[in-house]
Amino acid sequence: MMTSYEPIDAARAALARRVVFGCAIVAFLDGFDTQAIGPAIPAIASQLGLKPDAMGSVLGASQIGFLIGAFLFGALGDRLGRKKMLLLTTALFALGTLATALSGSLPALLLSRVVTGLGLGGASPNFVSLVGEFTPEERRARAVTMLWAAVPLGGMVGAFATGQLLPVHGWHAIFLIGAAAPLPVLAAVALLFPESREVAQERAAPVTALFAKDIRTTTLLLWVTSFMTWSTVVVTALWMPALLQRAGWAAPHAASMLALNNGGGIIGTLAVGLMIGRGDAKRALMATLAAAGCLIALMGAFTAIPFAFAVLAITAGCATSAAGGTLLAVSAGTYVPSARSTGIGWALGVGRTGTVLGPLAVGVMLGLGASVALTFATIAMLALLGVLAAIGLARSARPTPFPHGV
C-alpha cells in the first residue's frame, strides 16, 4: 500500500542515483587524465628533447594545480554553489587537457598541466560533497567510498588506451580524447543536477571553522593522514610505468601493469565500500594503508618476475585505492554540512602537497642513481607512516563516519 511519502522517497532516490552517476563520470575522467600521462612520459620527453628524469617537474605541475584547485574551489563550492564549481572545474580540466595535447615546449606543457590540475583538484571536493549531500545518511560512507572506484577505472582505461594508441598515433591522441570527453558531461551536469541545498540554506563556514576547539586536532591529523595517503596513491600510479621501463620492461607491458593496478583499485574500493556501510571507516583506512605499504615494498623486489609483479600490482591497487576512498569518507564525515566542501578541499589540498613533492623526489632519486627497488620501498614508507597518523585520527575524531542530522 502506497503512502504519501513514497513518491517523495522515490524522487529523492532517483535524484541520488543521478547525482552519484554524474559525479562518478567526473571522477572517471579525473583518473583517465591523471594516469594517462604516466605511460606517455618517455614519448613526451623524447619529442620535446628532454631527459625522462626531468619529467618529474611535469608530473609535479599538475599536482601543484590540483592542490591550489582543491583549496580554492572547495571553499567556493560551500559559498557559491557546488554545482557551479563542478561545471567550472570540469571545463577547466578539459581546457588543460587540450592544451597538453597541443604543447610543443616544456613551459607550455608545464602551464597546461597546472591548468588541468586546477580543474581536477577543484572538481574533487565538490563532487564528493554533492554525493555526500544527496545520498541518504545511512548510505553516505558507502557511496562516497565506492565513488572513488571510478577514479581507478578511469586510470585503467587511460593506461590501456595509452598503451594501444601511443605506438600508432602518438601521445597527442590520448589527450585529445581526454579533452573531448568532458563536453557531454558538462551538458548533463548543467541540465540534470540540482544546486546544493546546503549552500542555499546555510551560510558557508570559513576555513577557520576547521580549527574550532573541538575539531582542531582532528583536522591536523586528517591532513597528515591525507598527505601520506595521497602521496602513496598518486606517486605509485604516476611513476610505476617509468620505473618498470627503467627496470627493462617494454612501454606497452609497463602500461599494462598500471592498468592492472587500477583494475585492482576498482575491486578494492568497491569491496571496502560494501563492507564498511555505516561502520568505522577509520579502521578500514588503517588496514588498507598497512596493506598498501607492504605490497608496494614487495613490488620493488619482484620487477624481474612479471607474473609475481602483476599479482602484486593488482593487490597493491586494491589497497591503495581503497585507502583513498575510505579517506574521502572519513573527510566528508568530519565536518558539518556548511563546511563540507571546504574541509574536503583542504584535506585534499594538503594531501596533494605530498604528490607535488613526491614526483619531484622520485625524479631526483633516479637522477642520483637510486635503484627501482629502493624507490618502491621509499613510496611504501609513506603508506606506513600514514597508518600511524590514521591511528591518531581514529582516537581523536568522532566515532561515526557521518554526523547525524545532516
Alpha carbons 124 and 30: distance in angstroms, whole number: 9
Alpha carbons 43 and 24: distance in angstroms, whole number: 30
Contacts of 44 (CB under 8 A, 6+ apart): 37, 50, 55, 58, 109, 171
Alpha carbons 121 and 77: distance in angstroms, whole number: 12
Alpha carbons 326 and 262: distance in angstroms, whole number: 16
b/e 111-140 (16+ beta carbons within 10 angstroms → b): bbbbbbbbbbbbbbbbbbbbbbbbbeeeeb
At how many degrees (to 10) do helices 182-192 and 171-180 cross?
Answer: 10
Question: Helix, strand, coil shares of the chain as percentages rounded to 5?
Answer: 85, 0, 15
Looking at the chain, the number of H-run helices and the number of E-run strands are: 15, 0
Alpha-carbon distances of 13 from 10, 20, 173, 223, 317, rounded to whole Å:
5, 11, 39, 33, 31
What pLDDT does 313 receive? 93
Alpha carbons 87 and 189: distance in angstroms, whole number: 7
Domains along the chain with CATH numbers: 11-396 (1.20.1250.20)
Residue tagged 605506438 (cell numbers): 167
Residue 339 DSSP class: G
Q: Round to the nearest angstrom and report the end-to-end CA distance of the chain.
A: 29
Half-sphere exposure of residue 180: CA atoms within 13 angstroms, side-chain side = 6
Tell me the backbone φ, ψ of residue 397, rounded to 5 degrees.
-90, 175
Alpha carbons 96 and 395: distance in angstroms, whole number: 41
Q: Map residue 273 onto helix, strand or coil.
A: helix
Contact 254, 162 (CB under 8 A): no
What pLDDT does 257 receive? 87
Tell me the backbone φ, ψ of residue 247, rounded to 5 degrees.
-85, 0
Per-residue pLDDT of the chain (406 residues; tens, 9 = 90+): 344 334 446 777 777 788 888 888 888 988 888 777 777 777 888 888 877 666 767 777 887 888 888 888 887 887 888 888 999 999 999 999 999 888 888 888 899 999 998 998 888 888 888 887 787 766 777 788 888 888 878 877 877 777 777 777 888 888 898 889 888 888 888 887 877 776 545 555 567 778 777 788 888 999 999 999 988 988 888 788 888 988 888 877 887 888 788 788 888 888 888 777 555 788 889 999 999 999 999 999 998 898 999 999 999 999 998 998 899 888 877 777 777 778 888 888 888 787 777 777 887 888 888 888 999 999 999 999 999 999 998 887 554 333 333 3
Longest dimension (CA), the chain: 72
Alpha carbons 334 and 344: distance in angstroms, whole number: 9
Alpha carbons 104 and 312: distance in angstroms, whole number: 37
Residue 206 DSSP class: P
What pLDDT does 198 receive? 60
